Amino acid sequence: MAKRKPRNPFDVSLNDEQKKTLCLWLVDELQNGLNAKATTETDVEYWHRVYEQARTRTGRSPSQRGDRCGRPTSGVSPSASISDS
């Protein structure tokens, strides 16, 4: 029995239509990558705030709003708010 030469998995025969389809797909994926890379840090921060359901139309930053639940972080102790109720 004669041994066959192992087939190279990267040797793929494509017809002209398949080459065109592959080329268009690669161009789209490269463009998507470039578009994602072009996103500014400000855009990322904005969409993170939207995801976290933060206020996006005020001039205040999240650090000035308080903690994650919107409670003020300075001047109020947790025990004071519990005893008041």
Mean pLDDT of 35-51: 83
pLDDT digit string (tens) for 22-40? 999 999 999 998 888 877 7
Whole-Å CA distances, 80 to 10, 45, 71, 73, 84: 70, 34, 13, 13, 6
Higher-pLDDT residue of 14, 64: 14
Torsion-angle region of 66 (φ positive above 0: left; ψ -120 to 50: alpha; else: beta): left
Could you count the other beta carbons within 10 Å of the beta carbon of residue 62?
15
